Chains A and B, each alone.
Chain A
Amino acid sequence: MATRAVITLPAGVKAGEAFEVRATVAHAMETGYRSSDAGTRLQRDLVRRFECRLDGELVFAADLFAAVSANPYLAFWLRAAASGELSFAWRGDNGFEHRETRALSVA
């Protein structure tokens, strides 16, 4: 199954005014502490790092750990002076990487 992410941005963003960004990515976030039904240890498989960039400049980042639920959901606030491109990147164990971009138009 292709990796999926859902990103929610407000419809109208005003220059200099804070707006909320919500992002979630499909990921099991296996802690590495659980056992399977057969009794074997389930390998750790986590998203370790999330980054959001506006035209290449890092505007928000988060380090994720085993206590974060499946399909990690992050909501954060940004302020932008001008339109640009928001890029989102999730990286994790086993070479996991997922990227999304969204155009941000500032009125």
Chain B
Amino acid sequence: MRAWPLLLLALAASAAEPDPRRSGRDTMSPALRTLQADDAQHPAQLALALGRELWGAGARSCAGCHGEPEALRGAATRYPAWDQGLLDLPGRIQRCRVRHQQQPAWAPEAEPLLALAALVAQQSRGLPLQPPRGAALDEAAARGRHLYTTRIGALNLSCAQCHDERAGLRLGGSLIPQGHVDDYPVYRLEWQDLGSLQRRLRGCLSGVRAGVRDWDSAELLALEVYLSRRSAGMVMQPPGVRP
């Protein structure tokens, strides 16, 4: 009986504790934050315009099944998902294109693919990430966590060593972010282009001089599943802007 108030106190304390996780958009410079917050300045606005154009284009358009893009509010919060295999949001768009539109799949990072991914993701602005659960996804998350914490490459570094242990410090002139996945796809100024989370991960792999995994490989998708759980509950603001 006496333990109850103590337990309640402990619960209250844990609820009041601020979330130590910080989105990359909150740690960038004020100028970049403005760029992301203002739609009329956003460098992905051209991609979003293209996405809207593609949404209604063709005999079997996206609009034919889904209606307005706004109808997909919340869809992007629930990826990566399991549907006869692991699927991230661009993967889902590719599958829709092949199965339902009977069109050939786009190349990875193709401009129309990123444009549609940005358009769909944009509809989930302001919603928390809610990655789905399930046996296959749990298993992928465990594999992803293992990859995240394993030292790789000629530099012998794991993801966790930078993005967990050294987040907030600097690598050269750049701030090391916590590596949250709440704003993908992102327009990186360094890329001068919109890019997917897989492109970001491949960039990191090559950065530590490790073998770069193939697009949509089991390893990259498992990492995506783990990262989405690591960022679960954080509010999305896609498409993001990053330095």
Interface residues of A (CB under 8 A from B): 1-2, 4-6, 8, 22, 24-26, 28-29, 69-71, 73, 75
User: What CA separation (Å) do A29 and B189 show in the bound complex?
Assistant: 13
Are A1 and B41 in contact, CB atoms less than 8 angstroms apart? no
Q: Is the CB of B41 within 8 A of A70?
A: no
- Residues from chain A with Cβ under 8 Å of B50 in the complex: 1, 4, 26
Interface range, B side:
10 to 19
Q: Considering the chains assembled together, what is the distance between the CA atoms of A2 and B46 in angstroms?
A: 12
> Among the listed B45, B53, B111, B192, which residue makes an inter-chain contact with A69, where contact means beta carbons less than 8 Å apart?
B192
Q: How far is the CB of A3 from chain B (nearest CB, A)?
A: 10
Closest to A20 in B: B40
> B45: which of A24, A28, A75 is its contact (CB, 8 Å)?
A24
Flag if A71 contacts B49 (CB, 8 Å). no
**Complex partner residue of B46 from A8, A22, A26, CB under 8 angstroms:** A26
3 A-B pairs with least C-beta separation: A70-B192, A8-B40, A26-B46
Give chain B residues whose Cβ lies under 8 Å from the Cβ of A29: 192
The closest CB in chain B to the CB of A25 belongs to B46
Q: Which residue of A lies closest to B48 (CB)?
A: A6
Residues of A within 8 Å of B240, CB to CB, are none
Chain A minimum-CB-distance residue to B35: A73
Q: Which residues of A contact B41 (CB under 8 A)?
A: 22, 73, 75
> A1 vs B50: C-alpha distance in the bound complex, in angstroms?
9
Of B45, B111, B192, the contact of A6 (CB 8 Å cutoff): B45
Cα–Cα distance between A24 and B53 once the two chains are bound (Å): 17
A24 and B42 alpha carbons, distance in the complex (Å): 10
Per-position contact with A for B170-192: 1 when CB-CB < 8 Å, else 0?
Answer: 00000000000000000001001
**B111 interface neighbour in A1, A25, A73, A75, Cβ under 8 Å:** A1
Is B43 in the interface zone, CB < 8 Å from A?
yes
Closest to A71 in B: B46
Nearest neighbor of B50 in chain A, beta-carbon distance: A4
- Could you tell me the distance between the alpha carbons of A22 and B35 in the complex, rounded to whole angstroms? 13
Give the residue name and chain of the B residue nearest to A6 (CB): B45
- Which residues from chain B contact A71 at a C-beta distance below 8 Å? 43, 46, 192
Is B193 at the interface (CB under 8 A from chain A)?
yes
Bound complex: CA A5 to CA B192 (Å): 16
